[in-house]
Amino acid sequence: MRVELYRTRNCTEGQQVALWLWRAGVPHGDRDLSDPAVSADLRKRTRIGISPVVLVDGRAVWGTAREQIRRLRGLGIG
């Protein structure tokens, strides 16, 4: 399963999701949305331009950190 976190470094919601993934031992990529190329890639792949977004095998999970963590658990992650 491939997990990619797209976030900006100053986003507290993104920091919470990143910390949860790390504590849960979930290997994941961490992409910085302040890079215009990364932001354009996410919008092209998902049509979503907010932070944070987690892609699980290409499937987008977004919302507050609490919502994302609940959804990720529902997908069997963490």
Distance in angstroms (rounded) separating the CA atoms of residues 36 and 66 = 27
Local confidence pLDDT in tens for the 78 residues of the chain? 999 999 998 999 999 999 999 999 999 999 999 999 999 999 999 999 889 999 999 999 999 999 999 999 999 998
Cis amide prior to 52 (ω within 30 degrees): yes
**Overall pTM surpassing 0.75 (yes/no):** yes
Domains and CATH numbers, the chain: 3-74 (3.40.30.10)
Q: At what angle do helices 65-74 and 12-23 cross, to 10 degrees?
A: 30
What's the pLDDT at 50? 86
Beta bridge partners of 4: 29, 55
What's the pLDDT at 44? 94
